[in-house]
Amino acid sequence: MSPTDPLEDLLFHTRPAAPSLDLRERILVTTRTELQRERQRQTWRVIATTAAACALWLHLSWSAVLDTRPNIGVVLTTAELDRQASEIQRLIPDLPPGESRRQALLMNIGLNATIQPGLVSTRERSSATAAATSSDFGS
């Protein structure tokens, strides 16, 4: 062993003093504050992500609505509708006549209804929207 300096011996053999209670309290308060800030940041991230997802969904839904149109198909004549309603009435005698007529209408719409992309250009849609808007306001 090499000879050591008495000051080094004294420093080596003395126990370090415990941190003050004030320091401990400041560290705990700072840690709690930072944890609360992080929780708030996470909450805002969730809120912002949810809002962005809702905005995207709304945009895509609105785009889909504007670019599709229902195709009801063949136009039914009154005679054909009455014939189908009487056929339904013959098959289900307990059904009231008004309901058999409604069922005939629904059956035809269900057979011929399709959704297809609208083949309208943006310019045509803009002019149609402007015309509808001006007629709504009486211009």
Would you state the structure tokens that stand for residue 4, as one six-digit string?
Answer: 């050591």
Catalogue the long-range contacts made by 113-117 (C-beta closer than 8 Å, 24 or more residues apart). 113/70, 113/71, 113/72, 113/73, 114/70, 114/71, 114/73, 115/68, 115/69, 115/70, 115/71, 116/68, 116/69, 116/71, 117/67, 117/68
pLDDT at 34 exceeding the cut of 90 = yes
CB-based contacts of 109, cutoff 8 Å, min separation 6: 72, 73
- List the chain domain ranges: 19-57, 70-115
pTM: 0.37
CA–CA gap between residue 129 and residue 18 (Å, rounded): 77
Instruction: Tell me which of 31 and 70 has the higher pLDDT.
Output: 31
In this prediction, residues 28-33 reach a mean pLDDT of 92
95 neighbors 88 (Cβ within 8 angstroms)? yes
Instruction: Tell me which of 24 and 69 has the higher pLDDT.
Output: 24
Residues forming a β-bridge with 70: 115
For the ranges 22-31, 40-49, 70-79, the lowest mean pLDDT is seen at 70-79
98 neighbors 75 (Cβ within 8 angstroms)? no
